[in-house]
Amino acid sequence: MNAEKNNCLSVVKGNPPGSRNNFSNFCAKIDDTQAYLDSFYAKLLNIHHVKSNSNDYENRGGK
């Protein structure tokens, strides 16, 4: 009964049970997404660098 009362009070105060866990999971997903984006941008920069070097080579008469 006491646990139910605490859960009810938490909901009334705007802190439902498990909300911290849900927020933690949400933050972990944001971190995963950011890591994916960082990796994606690093690969794009690599591609741009290789393409840039290739264009330089061709512009200097390379085939």
Distance in angstroms between the alpha carbons of the first and the last residue of the chain: 81
What does the pLDDT read at residue 51?
A: 76
What does the pLDDT read at residue 18?
A: 67
* Residues 3, 47: Cα–Cα separation, whole Å: 57
* Residues 40, 46: Cα–Cα separation, whole Å: 10
In the chain, DSSP finds a helix count (H) and a strand count (E) of: 2, 0
What does the pLDDT read at residue 25?
A: 83
* Residues 16, 34: Cα–Cα separation, whole Å: 28
The answer to whether the pTM exceeds 0.75 is no
What does the pLDDT read at residue 9?
A: 57
What does the pLDDT read at residue 12?
A: 58
Per residue in 7-58, pLDDT tens? 665 655 666 666 677 778 888 888 899 998 999 988 888 888 887 777 766 6
